[in-house]
Chains A and B, each alone.
Chain A
Amino acid sequence: MPAILDAKGLCKSFGAVVAAAEVNAAIERDSVVGLIGTNGAGKTTFINMITGYLKPDAGAIHFEGRDITPLAPRDITRLGICRSFQIPQLYRSLTVLENMMVGLGVVMKNAGLGGYFSRRAPLVPGYGVPPQEAAARILERFGLSEYRDRNAQVLPGGVRKLLDIALAMVGKPRVLLLDEPTSGVSAEEKFGIMEMVMKGVKAEGATVLFVEHDMEIVARFADRVLAFYDGRIIADAPPQAALRDPEVRRYVVGIHAEG
């Protein structure tokens, strides 16, 4: 299968701290990749470089054959690489529905549909329905319908996470990067959230990279694991094999090899 995303020789240092040392990873289309590693191992730096928030000191990132390394975050987003955040980034003074409407507005604007003078709301590209209906559809998919008129800042933690991911999905991304989608969520809610997200993503046909600390979640949802340690990828394998790898067990999972 061809790689949709190809990172080659990525290096990034913050002063004396090396956050990425020659990171290479080719991500296949429609795969679900789990990024694991302790805090500071370089997972979020990797995501931040892909989304253009950080520029690598060396190396390049290709998306569908195109070099996206020099692009700004919004241009990378427009190409179809969207992300969620470890701490949900919401429009907190707006309701859940209004959050969606802002996102759909951007989709229309980027498609050249300002709707400045048309009396009827134009159809949202990729959805084929007016914005209100498109918003209802996404909220339904992420189980957010009952919260539609609530302000984003008063939502429970798990719902905030879902809204953040829903915002990342508004633009129908082809690559979705989820930074710790289940952090700060109670243990009972974790699987439910991941089930819902993965169902939504599968329906849209996006490639997923997710950062995760919970190895059960990784084992269940990922079909490939990249294990980070000290700015390097120390394992790149299907989850069962990666989680058995002695280096991964030692540096990531925190279990010392027996005997």
Chain B
Amino acid sequence: MRPDRTPLVLGAVLAALVAAGPFLPQWALFILTLAFSRGLVALGLMLLLRAGLVSFGQALYYCLGAYAAGALGRFYGVSDIFVEMLAGGAVAALAGLVLGFLLARYRGIFFGLLSLALSMILYGVIVKNEALGSTDGFNVAESSLFGWRPGEDWLRYAVMAAAAAVSLAAALLVHRYLGTPLGRLAPAIKDNEIRVEYMGASARQAVHVKYVIAAALAGVGGALAATTVGHIDPDMAYWTTSGEFIFVTILAGTGNVAAPFAGALIYGAIYSTAYDLSPNTWQLSLGAALLALIVFLPEGLSSLLRRHARHS
């Protein structure tokens, strides 16, 4: 069997990024950090997609994570980036655990639309809530790391490095999970749930576990986005935000835990370029990119990685 090189390669690439960070311009650090944030969300969606489930409402957990992080600073004066990400992930995981009891019963379009409906409920709740800034949202305090406050010059770099570390840890854990019996069950659930049940496993329980992991990852990603952008608003729960995550997930494919991060980076690059070139019709370019992707690379970036591995 071919030795598993994914952890090594991913670790090396992220280490190189962190090493190169001090020489990168601020805007590049910003795009990179947001790519880690979206990549974390897409990593969770990938878990669900492997089981044949598409969540149109992952922005629910992304937004919860962001507001959990923001609330820490606003109401408790906590600004440590790791604490923020931990809180974001924990709040989202808890919400995912509760809502999972409902969602794990559904498949296909029902699962998708129910998840979308839940995210829009959160959107509505935040919009109506003055304490959380209503439609304007509120600003998130600058991050610190273990009590250290990096100056303005180093802030973006410090956040990016923290994001890389957390992303690496998350990717390795998910990679490990995919090799476990419960992780292996995903394609089986997608193919034939009847057979899964008649082999003595609970498809619903397996989906529930994946759903909670995906929620936690989206929460961490949301917290990271909140502290990176420095501002949060209810649009983070809006269905178009969920759409972005699906775009990244489709772009990445389901074959490799590194792909969601690569996909998120490419998405960020397309988005930034399109917005830069034509601020009013950037959706057009993004749509065209998605179309090309589905036609030419239906199994996403991870199929490229696989093809490369086969040739080498």
- 74-113 of chain A: CB within 8 A of chain B: 74-75, 77-78, 82-83, 85, 89-94, 98, 101-103, 105-110, 113
Kindly state the separation between the CA atoms of A239 and B139 in the bound complex, as whole angstroms: 81
What size tier do the contact residues of chain A reach?
A: 35 or more
Whether B184 pairs with A105 at a CB distance below 8 angstroms is yes
Whether A116 pairs with B176 at a CB distance below 8 angstroms is yes
- 72-131 of chain B: CB within 8 A of chain A: none
Q: Which residue of A lies closest to B181 (CB)?
A: A105
Whether A82 pairs with B191 at a CB distance below 8 angstroms is no
Choice from B181, B195, B197 contacting A115 with Cβ under 8 Å: B181
Residues from chain A with Cβ under 8 Å of B202 in the complex: 74
Residues from chain B with Cβ under 8 Å of A82 in the complex: 198-199
Whether A106 pairs with B199 at a CB distance below 8 angstroms is yes
Kindly state the separation between the CA atoms of A75 and B192 in the bound complex, as whole angstroms: 18
Residues from chain A with Cβ under 8 Å of B231 in the complex: none
* Per-residue interface assignment for chain B, residues 182 to 196, with 1 indicating a CB less than 8 Å from any chain A CB and 0 otherwise: 101101101110111
What size tier do the contact residues of chain B reach?
A: 20 to 34
Whether B199 pairs with A171 at a CB distance below 8 angstroms is yes
Q: Which residue of B lies closest to A117 (CB)?
A: B176
Whether B191 pairs with A74 at a CB distance below 8 angstroms is no
CB distance from A138 to the nearest CB of B (A): 13
- 161-195 of chain B: CB within 8 A of chain A: 176-177, 180-182, 184-185, 187-188, 190-192, 194-195
Answer whether residue A51 sits at the interface, using C-beta atoms and an 8 A cutoff.
yes
Kindly list 14 other residue pairs between chains A and B, CB separation below 8 angstroms, not including A72-B197, A89-B195, A171-B199. Answer: A77-B197, A82-B199, A90-B191, A90-B195, A93-B191, A94-B187, A101-B184, A106-B181, A106-B199, A107-B200, A115-B180, A116-B180, A117-B176, A171-B200
Give me 29 A-to-B residue pairs in the complex whose CB atoms sit less than 8 angstroms apart, sorted by A's number: A51-B198, A73-B197, A74-B200, A77-B197, A77-B198, A77-B200, A83-B198, A91-B187, A91-B188, A91-B192, A91-B195, A92-B191, A93-B187, A94-B187, A101-B184, A102-B185, A102-B188, A105-B180, A105-B181, A106-B185, A106-B200, A108-B181, A109-B181, A109-B182, A113-B181, A115-B181, A116-B180, A168-B198, A171-B200
Q: Report which A residues bind B (CB closer than 8 A).
A: 51, 72-75, 77-78, 82-83, 85, 89-94, 98, 101-103, 105-110, 113-117, 167-168, 170-171
Q: Report which B residues bind A (CB closer than 8 A).
A: 176-177, 180-182, 184-185, 187-188, 190-192, 194-202
